[in-house]
Amino acid sequence: MEYLVVYDVDTTTPAGERRLRQVAKVCEGYGLRVQKSVFEMTCMPAQLPRLRQTLTDIIDKTRDNVRLYRLQEGTLNSVERLGIAELAPHRGDHIL
Amino acid sequence: MEYLVVYDVDTTTPAGERRLRQVAKVCEGYGLRVQKSVFEMTCMPAQLPRLRQTLTDIIDKTRDNVRLYRLQEGTLNSVERLGIAELAPHRGDHIL
């Protein structure tokens, strides 16, 4: 399964800065960072609930914004890129 | 057609700040902003080349990073959301 995870974490407080780092760190376990707050993921269906739960536990539900887009298989290898954007070197399902 | 456009514009210079504002403004003409640098778009196939060209003309190709993800029809109405993320009120193809 291919997913795109994007987030806006409110970093106006030190706690927010910490949440931002935690969200990024969790996402690094599931996929590849392609922008500051955008991760591409190739993962197994069984991994999704844990990712969702972990992110839910980290974020401030009244301040932070996380969106998970399910992509059609093959999207990540054909994403349109402008400027310095590059294809991310995914290699099948990411193993945690 | 549903698209997700995400961007990282290098804002370490005043020119970069200006490019960031320009990119956002262009994207506002095609879709709805759902995060600081994430736009959801529902547009007609014929609109895509113009969007791509306009963004290409604005960005600094050696510093900025723009990615356009083609989504399956219906993705925008079923995106998974955590925290304050909300469904964006798309209403068919956005008319420019």
**Do B48 and A76 contact (CB within 8 A), yes or no?**
no
First to last CA, chain B: 15
Nearest CA in chain A to B79: A69
Which CATH code of 3.40.630.10, 3.40.30.10, 3.30.70.240, 3.90.1660.10 fits the domain covering A2-69?
3.30.70.240
The fold of B2-71 is Alpha-Beta Plaits (3.30.70)
Q: Percentage of chain B surpassing pLDDT 70?
A: 95
pLDDT tens digits, A1-25: 999 999 999 999 999 999 999 999 9
Domain boundaries, chain B: 2-71
- pLDDT recorded at residue A92: 63
Question: Least CB-CB distance to B79: which of A36, A69, A80?
Answer: A69
Please answer yes or no on whether B62 and A84 come within 8 Å at the CB atom.
yes
- The strand order across the sheet containing A31-35 reads A31-35, A38-42, A2-8, A65-71, B80-83
Contact A64, B84 (CB under 8 A): yes
